[in-house]
């Protein structure tokens, strides 16, 4: 009996998950989903054009002739706006996932079925994320226009996509967690956005300020600062990148251009006591590891929450 | 759903209503739903207070009580949605807090609200819940067609769920409770908020389902609704079970003796002594005249044969009887008598 049940579930797999089927059916019904996608792409194209015009104008003024410069501006601009959009869209899609079931009074019905809590949670997460991924993938061709101008490598496109995806997954999980923890969608939204803003904007700002204060206290010349402190600052910067997709993307690009590596490399530190090589990991790796771990913890806690029988 | 008026059944149903239409005999010791000393407290409020419930397999069990009596709370415990504060609850032999999955497999639950998705078609709604109950995809279309047929919604198969009328939604929800062919249906106020016709339809469906072998445990505030189709009744008030048992035993407990009123043209004393002599008659009292007519109240204990024996006795002595009728005691007044109106 138990074995047969387990087998049926395994054979069913994720794509037989009734929640995914239902959510996608609902979301893709009618013209809404396609309207949203079209508006999104139109906005992105408009933004890219604007960037192009600005970049070419500045090129005229400063007399640059490098197409690579335009390509890079376009690429970073598009990634930046996508990151911004994902930060707002991903939680919006999941924050109503479970509280919405409560508000429609279908949550209890689902709980009396044999649907396991993890199927409900993963089904909700995957169906919400799949739509955000659709938006991300739809914009890839736009990013690739940057190729036409040169100056951007395939590796950068891939890394940008990884950072965007990880951000989507973790912020989506955050929304889902608060959706289960709060009874109302409104309150779930408010909490989710507060936490998201705190992490993506508040925390980096705080750390930046601390680092700035710290550096000014230490004095102006880098070489005067003790090696230990410099190493600490460097790792602090890396840790900071793990809290924020924008910082991670920026630093990854910085080290990619300066050290030609997107994985492991050495940073040289000069001080009065000599020159040492500090091993570093590219920020996108640290960021992805930390963000995915957070997502995993949030999903597990959401499942526990959903499984619990009310007291 | 608190200000419900029994629109269609004013005055209640007489105690001598036709017997519940369930043919197979019910084994009173084969309990499919059972609670022992069930307690549910919300903070200081005790919603369910030492409630012991026995629903035999195959019964249509009416769980009756005024607003706030603790019916929904009891049902939420039985459907594994809520933990009791104390006591045990069993469904088909499974303890609800220890084997919730086994319990969910055997119950179909309809809450006192609809719970429908606004972006779904009727058949998709049933298909989704069937999938949640792990019904194989291949057997779903046939099952959905059968269920829609049963609840008379086949013609609305491709309509959006939120476009249905209340009565249709209620029938759809009833169909939803059946997708996994459960043994027990737990229905919270299935007839509330419906017009008289929709109400009758739901009740007919319940009778039909009982005939198909399902045990039905449902709640209501309207005893009249319950009395017509139930085999068993539990009357609950302020979280306590006031009275419980088969319709027969409830009737007997509520009014141990039957009453008849005899209206005579004349010969009051003769009639009184004649009736007192009939085996089974407990008391004969003279009632005040009503419009010049003489009346007697006969209290008796026995089957309908006794009634006809009394008529024959009077006729044999040539006593001029104008009217002879059994006094119908309606259940609603009985209900008022039993429930003291602690909660309202
Ligand atoms: N979640 C809750 N928190 C606090 N009190 C509650 C909760 N649910 C129910 N109650 C209270 O418990 C008591 C019993 O409620 P319950 O819903 O079980 O009664 P009911 O018999 O279903 O009433 P009705 O006929 O109105 O549906 C009521 O006084 C109600 O206010
Ligand atoms: Mg109720």
B219-271 tens-digit pLDDT: 998 777 787 899 999 999 999 998 899 887 877 777 667 888 888 888 888 88
Q: What pLDDT shows up at residue B110?
A: 96
From chain A, the residues in CB contact with B109 under 8 A are 108-109, 112
From chain B, the residues in CB contact with A12 under 8 A are 134
List the single best residue of B73, B128, B175, B177 to mutate versus A (max A Cβ within 10 A). B128
CA distances from B318 to B152, B296, B298, B326 (A): 57, 17, 19, 21
Among A63-72, A182-191, B163-172, name the one with the lowest average pLDDT. Answer: A63-72
Q: B158: exposed, middle or buried (C-beta count within 10 Å: 0-12, 13-18, 19+)?
A: exposed
Residue percentage of chain B with pLDDT more than 90: 52
Is the Cβ atom of B250 under 6 angstroms away from ligand 1?
A: no
CA distances from A275 to A236, A269, B102 (A): 20, 6, 69
- Rg of chain A over all Cα atoms, to the nearest angstrom: 23
pTM of the model: 0.83
- Judged by CB atoms closer than 8 Å, whether chains meet at B134 and A114 is answered as yes
Rounded Cα distance between B160 and A130, Å, is: 25
| Partner residue facing B128 (CB), from A22, A108, A311 | A22
Alpha carbon nearest to ligand 1 atom 26, residue = B67
Average pLDDT across each block of 10 residues of chain B; the chain has 344 residues. List them in order: 40 41 70 96 95 95 93 97 96 96 96 90 95 93 96 95 92 95 96 87 92 95 81 92 86 75 87 86 85 85 83 88 78 63 43
Is the Cβ atom of B67 under 6 angstroms away from ligand 1?
A: yes
Of residues B32, B74, B29, the one with CA closest to residue B51: B74
A115 shares contact with chain B (CB less than 8 Å): yes
Give mean pLDDT, residues A250-258: 86
B263: left (phi over 0), alpha (psi -120 to 50) or beta: beta
Q: What pLDDT shows up at residue B145?
A: 96
Rounded Cα distance between A100 and A183, Å, is: 9
Of residues B50, B158, B169, the one with CA closest to residue B115: B169
**Strand pairing class (B60-64; B232-237):** parallel
Q: Is the Cβ–Cβ distance between B99 and B34 less than 8 Å? A: no
**Cα within 13 Å of Cα(A117), Cβ side:** 14
List the single best residue of A113, A116, A120, A123 to mutate versus B (max B Cβ within 10 A). A113
B310-336 tens-digit pLDDT: 888 888 888 888 888 887 666 666 666
């Amino acid at each position: 009996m138990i074995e047969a049940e387990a087998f049926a579930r395994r054979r069913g797999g994720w794509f037989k998950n009734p929640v995914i089927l239902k959510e996608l059916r609902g979301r893709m019904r009618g013209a809404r989903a396609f309207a949203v996608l079209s508006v999104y792409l139109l906005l992105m194209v408009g933004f890219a054009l604007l960037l192009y015009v600005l970049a070419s104008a500045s090129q005229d003024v400063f007399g640059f002739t490098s197409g690579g410069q335009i390509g890079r501006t376009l690429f970073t601009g598009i990634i930046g706006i996508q990151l911004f959009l994902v930060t707002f869209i991903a939680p919006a899609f999941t924050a109503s996932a479970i509280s919405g079931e409560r508000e429609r009074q279908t949550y209890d019905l689902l709980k009396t079925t044999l649907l396991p809590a993890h199927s409900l949670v993963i089904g909700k997460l995957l169906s919400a994320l799949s739509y955000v991924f659709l938006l991300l993938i739809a914009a890839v061709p736009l990013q690739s226009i940057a190729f036409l101008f040169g100056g951007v490598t395939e590796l950068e496109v891939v890394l940008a996509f990884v950072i965007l995806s990880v951000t989507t997954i973790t912020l989506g999980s955050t929304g889902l967690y608060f959706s289960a923890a709060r009874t109302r969608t409104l309150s779930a939204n408010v909490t989710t956005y507060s936490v998201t803003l705190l992490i993506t904007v508040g925390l980096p700002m705080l750390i930046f300020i601390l680092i700035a204060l710290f550096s000014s206290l230490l004095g102006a010349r880098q070489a005067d600062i003790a090696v230990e402190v410099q190493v600490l600052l460097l790792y602090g910067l890396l840790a900071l990148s793990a809290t924020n997709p924008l910082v991670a993307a920026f630093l990854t690009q910085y080290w990619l251009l300066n050290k030609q590596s997107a994985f492991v490399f050495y940073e040289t530190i000069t001080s009065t006591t000599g020159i040492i090589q500090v091993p570093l990991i590219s920020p996108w790796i640290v960021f992805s590891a930390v963000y995915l771990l957070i997502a995993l913890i949030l999903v597990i806690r959401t499942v526990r929450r959903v499984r619990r029988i009310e007291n | 759903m608190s200000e419900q008026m029994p629109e269609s059944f004013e005055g209640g149903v007489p105690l001598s209503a036709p017997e519940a239409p369930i043919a197979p005999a019910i084994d009173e010791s084969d309990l499919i739903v059972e609670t022992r000393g069930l307690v549910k407290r919300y903070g200081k409020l005790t919603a369910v207070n030492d409630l012991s419930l026995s629903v035999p397999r195959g019964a249509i069990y009416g769980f009756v009580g005024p607003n706030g009596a603790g019916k929904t709370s009891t049902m939420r415990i039985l459907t594994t949605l809520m933990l009791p504060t104390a006591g045990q609850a069993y469904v088909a032999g499974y303890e609800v807090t220890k084997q919730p999955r086994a319990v969910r497999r055997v119950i179909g639950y309809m809450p006192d609200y609809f719970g429908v998705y606004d972006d779904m078609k009727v058949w998709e709604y049933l298909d989704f819940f069937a999938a949640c109950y792990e019904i194989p995809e291949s057997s779903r279309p046939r099952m959905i067609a059968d269920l829609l047929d049963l609840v008379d919604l086949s013609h609305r198969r491709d309509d959006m769920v939120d476009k249905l009328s209340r009565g249709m939604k209620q029938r759809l929800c009833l169909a939803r409770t059946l997708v996994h062919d459960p043994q027990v249906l737990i229905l919270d106020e299935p007839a509330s908020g419906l017009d008289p016709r929709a109400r009758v339809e739901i009740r007919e469906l319940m009778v039909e389902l009982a005939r198909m072998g399902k045990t039905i445990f449902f709640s209501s505030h309207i005893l009249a609704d319950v009395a017509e189709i139930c085999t068993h009744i539990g009357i609950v008030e302020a979280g306590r079970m006031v009275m419980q048992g088969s319709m027969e035993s409830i009737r007997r407990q509520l009014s141990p003796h039957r009453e008849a009123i005899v209206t005579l043209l004349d010969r009051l004393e003769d009639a009184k002594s004649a009736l007192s002599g009939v085996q089974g008659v407990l008391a004969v009292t003279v009632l005040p005249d009503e419009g010049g007519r003489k009346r007697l109240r006969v209290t008796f204990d026995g089957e309908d044969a006794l009634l006809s024996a009394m008529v024959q006795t009077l006729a044999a002595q040539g006593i001029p009887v104008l009217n002879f009728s059994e006094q119908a005691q309606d259940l609603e007044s009985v209900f008022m008598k039993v429930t003291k109106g602690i909660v309202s």
